[in-house]
Amino acid sequence: MTRIVESIRPAFVALAANKMRAVLTTLGVVIGIFFVLLMGWVLNGLDSAFTQSFAFFGDDILYIDKFNWSGGEDWYAQRNRPKIDFRQYGMFKERMRGAEFVVPTIDRFSTNVRHENLQLQGSMIFGTTAEYIDMYSGITAEGRFFTETEAELGANVVVLGQKVNENLFPQGDALGKTLKIDGQPFTVIGVLPKRGTMLIDFVDNMSLIPIKRFFGLYGSRSSLTINVKAGGKERLDDVKYEAIGVMRSVRSLKPGDDDNFGINSQEMFSQFIDITRGVVWGIGLFMTGLAFLVGSIGIMNIMFVSVAERTREIGVRKAVGATQSRILLQFLFESIILSLIGAAIGLILTSTIAAFKDQIVSGVIALLSLVGLAEGDTTVNLSFLSSTIPLTQVVVAVVVAVIVGILAGIIPAFRAARLNPVEALRAE
């Protein structure tokens, strides 16, 4: 430990004597650490946003649909599949034994949802049954969900998503009021809690009505989706295999026939997340590696220059008893300290961006609006990004900086340590 301390002190003295050169030398490392921290910060935020967004779909829920959400088979072939109708849903629910809930949903985009003089430009109308609320949350923010009797009778009642409620009833007095959906009056009996996120907000922009009323309003030509809740993630695979068998039976498919329906789940979004994460990491690592390569070459060159400039000093130290290991450690620590200075500057830059991200974005938008490249009221939602850099990312940055410092300084340090003291003392 004493030897290490004695090696660090001269390294700091040497760097302090050439402050500007030391800072400029670390530029490549600054850029590399900046990319490492920035990439980790953004990916951490995206992971959180993805997790919150797709949590709505449930990790134990299957969606039996006419289409495969992940693509797979040609879209035109999927389009020609027979629709899933309400009769098939009834047969499926009757035969399904392992599921906790089996609930149908059907949707339609409407531009004519209004209350008095307020109108939504676009809203999703969902038809479903009374079990929907138990399947997904079991609660409403206000009021109640429609009952089985109301669902069976196709009553003109509606439960609003948060966004619909805020737009049509800004005073928060929706319960008991009447709104019109495509010209038909509906009584508001409940409001759902906010469920949408930055990436998925359509769930707050929906109005839910009894499915039989939906058929009365829009007809039954569209295909519906059968939502199957397994009752636990550990049971999902068993319920999935049962659902495939039951659905094939309902659709009268023979043993050799392909499935003409899709079994979808949250797992498909996890695959999308993994692909997105891989692309971001790939681009980020390439840029980071390039920056570190430039930085390490810069540090190595400066260390070679430092060894050449201090050859006589090295000779004097060896003449008075300094060992090769002490000379080696001094120059190696000098290289590591240079790299750590770059890491500190990179951390300060990234932390500043994280702490003042909203102000920075607002300033950029204001600047762009001045030159006509953006609207003055443009907003960017960065709520998925934290205001601090995760500690794990800081640790990774420090470790990487130390490794870069060692790799960049090891050859110059060996050269300094192996200098002949007699020849070194002759140097001018």
170 & 275 share domain: no
Shared-domain flag, residues 330 and 254: no
Over 60: is that where the pLDDT of 428 sits? no
Question: Do 66 and 174 reside in the same domain of the chain?
Answer: no
- What does DSSP say about strands 225-229 and 123-128: parallel, antiparallel, or unpaired? unpaired
**Residue 101, pLDDT score:** 92
20 confidence band (pLDDT: 50, 70, 90): low
Residues 6+ apart with CB under 8 A from 420: none
The whole-angstrom separation of Cα 237 and Cα 239 is 5
- Answer whether residue 17 shows pLDDT above 60: no
Distance separating alpha carbons of residues 349 and 344, to the nearest angstrom: 9
What pLDDT shows up at residue 86?
A: 94
Whether residues 388 and 411 fall in one domain: yes
Number of domains into which the chain is organized = 3
Q: Which residue has the tokens 């295909």?
A: 223
Q: How many residues does the chain have?
A: 428
The pair phi, psi for residue 254, each rounded to 5°, is -80, 165
Confidence of residue 226 (pLDDT cuts 50, 70, 90): very high
Range 118-126 average pLDDT: 86
- Residue 21's pLDDT is 62
Where does the pLDDT of residue 72 fall: very low under 50, low under 70, confident under 90, or very high at 90 and above?
Answer: low
**Quick one: 223 and 234 in the same domain?**
no
Cβ-based neighbour number of residue 218 at 10 Å = 17
pLDDT of 118 higher than 70? yes
Query: What residues make up the domain containing 89?
Result: 59-100+230-265
Q: State the pTM of this model.
A: 0.68
- The last residue of a domain, from among 240, 265, 290: 265
Residues paired with 5 in a beta bridge: none
Among the residue ranges 86-100, 140-154, 397-411, the one predicted with the least confidence is 397-411
Structure confidence by residue, pLDDT tens digits, 297-353: 878 887 887 777 778 877 887 787 777 888 888 888 888 888 888 888 889 999 999
pLDDT > 90: percent of the chain:
26
Same domain, 39 and 151: no
Distance CA 215, CA 43 (A): 43
The whole-angstrom separation of Cα 168 and Cα 175 is: 12
Question: Do residues 296 and 415 both lie within one domain?
Answer: yes
pLDDT in tens, 171-209: 888 999 999 999 899 999 999 888 766 666 777 889 999
pLDDT over 90 at 388, yes or no: no
Query: What does the pLDDT read at residue 178?
Result: 92
Is residue 276 domain-shared with residue 417, that is, in the same domain?
yes
pLDDT at 180: 92
Residues 163 and 95 in one domain: no
Both 151 and 284 in a single domain?
no
Residues 159 and 198 in one domain: yes
Which among 213, 229, 216 has a CA at the least distance from the CA of 127? 213
pLDDT tier at 294 (50, 70, 90 boundaries)? confident
| CA triple 310-295-331, angle to 5 deg | 30
Cα 241 to Cα 246: distance, rounded to the nearest angstrom: 9
Identify whether residues 121 and 196 lie together within a single domain: yes
Average pLDDT along the chain: 82
pLDDT (mean) for 272-282: 75
Q: Which of 137-151, 232-246, 286-300 has the highest mean pLDDT?
A: 232-246
